[in-house]
Structures are given as structure tokens and as C-alpha cells.
Structure 1
Amino acid sequence: MNDDPRPGEKSPPTPRKRPSQERGVARYNKLLDAAHALLIENELDEIGLYQTAKKAGVPPASAYHFFPTPGALLLALAERYHEEFSELARKVDTRGVKSWQALLQLRLSAAVQIYNQNPPIQKLFLGSHTTRELVQSEAGFNELLARRMLGFYEQFFHMPHIRDAEHKFLIMLTLVDSVWSLSFSKHRTITAQFEEEALAVAVAYCRTFLPEVIEPREPAAPAEAEPGTAD
């Protein structure tokens, strides 16, 4: 049974107490692992603190100590998933990329792969959000992604000056999320058709502020070994 307020009631703040001791960290992570496992078979509004504690093998008092509401638990889980997406961005193989369109396709395809391999992430980010805090968390993460994406493009291309560049990348990401969310609502996954549609939307919008061709930067030369060091 979910412990969230009934529809129409004002959602309370969802502060979380982050553990610092090793034992507390272990319990905190067990609870997040349990919430992830429960989301594989259940919807967001079906996840409660008591059942999460039981699944984790953690005393219910510990669950309420770290997460006073189910919303706080889901918010912490969302932050964990955000870290996974950030790690993904660092691992995308960009060798041979010569155009901003190809780089965008790589980034979006990698994100789709993570979504489709992880139903809990789809439910949390592409489904209907149950709390204002989750909506705000996703919006804040997209702002961070927009800044990082701009930096990523500047790393690979001689980018022109773009007024409000971060804002424009944020709009692009929001549009993509909308298409993916529509796919999830209809098919419970991001289908190949909707993946293509989201890419088309992203490229079309980016063409309103990016030129069709941007000169790529030369790959950085490998550092030379210092004299006297082994190869």
C-alpha cells in the first residue's frame, strides 16, 4: 500500500537524510535497490516504504528515517538514475564522428538503450510523475544535461556563437522527452519508430539555431613520453 497523500492533497516536502556511516550507507543503498526491484513489476503509486523495507530486509524504522515519504524514496532513486545517465554520456564511442547530427544521434540512441533495458527508469522518467519534486528533479537534470551537451559539442566542433545556447539545448531535450514519453504511454517502451521520430524532432529543432555544417576540431594529439620514461 502506498503511503502518498490522496489525490487533491498537498504533497509534503520530501527531505531525505543522507547517511554518512558505513552501516547507514549500506541500508540506504539496499532500500534504493529494493525500490528499483519493486518498480520492475509495480507502478510508481504502488511503491510504499513498508514494502520497500521488507524487500530490502531493512527495519521499517530505518526506511522512514532515511525517507519520510515514498516521494523522497523515489526522488533518491531518480538521482541514482541521473548518475547512470551521466556515466553513459562519458562512455559513448564518438570515434569517427564528423557532424553534429551524428553526435546527437549517438547520444540519443545510447539514452534509448538505457531506457529500454531498464523498465524502472522508464516508469520514473517517462511515466506520470506522482510528485512535484520528481518533476522538478527531472527538469533540473535536463538543465544539467543541456549544459553538458553544449560543452560536449564545443569539445568536438568549432561552435558558432549561439544566443541562449543552454536554453535551446534544454528545449531540444524536453521535446525529445515528450516523444519518448508518448511512446512509453502507448507501448510501454521506446519503439524504433518513436526513436526515429524523436531524433527527427531534435535535429529539426537544432537546425533553427545551428548551421547545417560545423567544422569539427582536430583530434587531440597523444601526449609524448617524457625523456627517460619507458614506452
Structure 2
Amino acid sequence: MNAGRPANTQARGRKRRDALLGAARQLLAERESDQITLVDVAARAGIPKSSAYHFYADVLELYNELVTVLDAELQQSIVRPIGPVEGWEALIGVVIDRAALYFAEHPAAQQLMLASQTPPAVKRSSRRADIMTSGLIEQHIDAQFVMPDIPDRSRIFFHAVEAADLMFGLSLFQYGALKPSMVEEAKKMSCAYLGLYIPRFLPRR
């Protein structure tokens, strides 16, 4: 007779977690991450603070879960197919434009993945996700071009992603937004670094 209760409880719990994550997104579009508490998030979500503390020990733990969601969304925008391009540098440009558009549309991602005040634990989590993101970029290039054998290639692509992130973060720090000129700088920086290992002209598949 009570067989449905655990499932109902789990569904209600998932709904509340989603509400807290959604409320955190809203607040991160309005305030800096270090100005938000778990009590603030619970109030915005319309959930008792005791329930919020049932799910998360503090707002940092919530941020860690949220940044995982945001990284997955960013990767979904990057993984979409890319039509034929003139060279691998143009392909890198497409990927960086997609990332810039995602960040422009998601202030919470800017705060947790790029901003200087991001808590170190959250930043480490996002850096780990960047390893997967760099792998997606490798796959895009491999799909169109024949790359030479490069020792430790995955590490090199990871560093190229971090170079773009650095320029995005500097844009936020200096201008409070992702300026198109800084997005172009991110492309130059990533391509210049990769160009130390990859010939400018690669044979097509």
C-alpha cells in the first residue's frame, strides 16, 4: 500500500533540489557568488531553509553541483556538429564563439567558471570538466583534419582551453562583460599555443 511513497519522496526531493539550483542561477545573475548564502537561495526558491540544509551543507556545496550542470550545458553547445571549415584555426574560432555565446547567456556560468572570486573548490571542479571539453575540441579537429602524432596531445588541448578561459576571465575582470574584442583575443591565444604543436595547414580527411 505504501510502495509508491519512496518514489514520491525521491521525486519531491529532486524537485526541491532543482528549485534550489534554479534559484542559485537567478541570484548569481544579480550578485557576486560570495555575497550569496544558502539561506538566500532557499528564500528565492520558496523552500524552508531546513530543507535546503538537508540537501546541501552550505552554498559552496550547492555551487559544486550547479557548476557540474553548467559545464554539461556548455559541452552540449560545443559538441554540436561543425560544418566544413578552411582550417583548424577557423574551427577553434567556431568553438570559442559557441562558448562565448553560452557564457553571455548564462551569468551563473560566468560567475562560477570564469570570475576571479570563484571559490577554489568550485574552480577545481570546473577545471576537471575542461579536460572533457578539450577532448570534444580534439574530436572536432579529428573529424575534418589529419593531425600529426603529438605526445601528450590531450594535455596540450586542455591548456588551449585554459588559455581561452583566461582571456574570458580577464574580460569579465576588466570590463564586466565578455567583449567581442576579448573573445577574438581568446581565439588568438588558443590558436597561437596550439600552433606550437600543430602545423597551420593540415590535410583533410
Normalising by structure 2, report the TM-score.
0.91
| Separation (CA, whole Å) in 1 of partners of 2:126 and 2:175 | 22
Task: Name the residue aligned to 1:34.
Answer: 23
Q: How does 1:160-199 map to 2 (within 5 A)?
A: 160-199=148-187
Q: How does 1:1-231 map to 2 (within 5 A)?
A: 21-91=10-80, 94-217=82-205
Residues 98, 216 of structure 1: 8 Å contact kept:
no
| Separation (CA, whole Å) in 2 of partners of 1:193 and 1:130 | 24
| Separation (CA, whole Å) in 2 of partners of 1:90 and 1:145 | 9
Larger Rg: 1
| Separation (CA, whole Å) in 1 of partners of 2:109 and 2:85 | 28
Structure 1 residues without counterparts, runs of 5 or longer: 1-19, 218-231
| Separation (CA, whole Å) in 2 of partners of 1:40 and 1:135 | 18
* CA 22–42 in structure 1, closer or farther in 2 if over 3 Å, else same: same
Deviates further, 22-31 or 141-150:
141-150
| Separation (CA, whole Å) in 2 of partners of 1:131 and 1:100 | 34
* CA 24–83 in structure 1, closer or farther in 2 if over 3 Å, else same: same
Deviates further, 207-216 or 152-161:
152-161
Q: Over aligned residues, Cα RMSD in angstroms?
A: 1.4
Residues 150, 197 of structure 2: 8 Å contact kept:
yes
Counterpart amino acid of residue 46 in structure 1? Q
Compute the displacement of 1:132 (Å): 2.6
| Separation (CA, whole Å) in 2 of partners of 1:136 and 1:90 | 22
Counterpart amino acid of residue 156 in structure 1? Q
Deviates further, 178-187 or 139-148:
139-148
Counterpart amino acid of residue 12 in structure 2? R
Deviates further, 76-85 or 151-160:
151-160
Report SS of the residue matched to 1:21.
Answer: helix
Counterpart amino acid of residue 202 in structure 1? S
| Separation (CA, whole Å) in 1 of partners of 2:137 and 2:80 | 14
Q: Which has the higher contact order (CA 8 A, sep 6+)?
A: 2
Compute the displacement of 1:176 (Å): 1.1
Normalising by structure 1, report the TM-score.
0.81
Residues 56, 62 of structure 2: 8 Å contact kept:
yes
Compute the displacement of 1:130 (Å): 4.2
**Higher helix content, 1 or 2:** 2
Structure 2 residues without counterparts, runs of 5 or longer: 1-8
Report SS of the residue matched to 1:41.
Answer: coil
| Separation (CA, whole Å) in 1 of partners of 2:158 and 2:88 | 16
Q: Structure 1 runs of 4+ off > 4 angstroms?
A: none
Deviations 1:145-198 (A, max 9, x none): 122222222222212111110110111111111111111001111111111111
* CA 130–178 in structure 1, closer or farther in 2 if over 3 Å, else same: closer
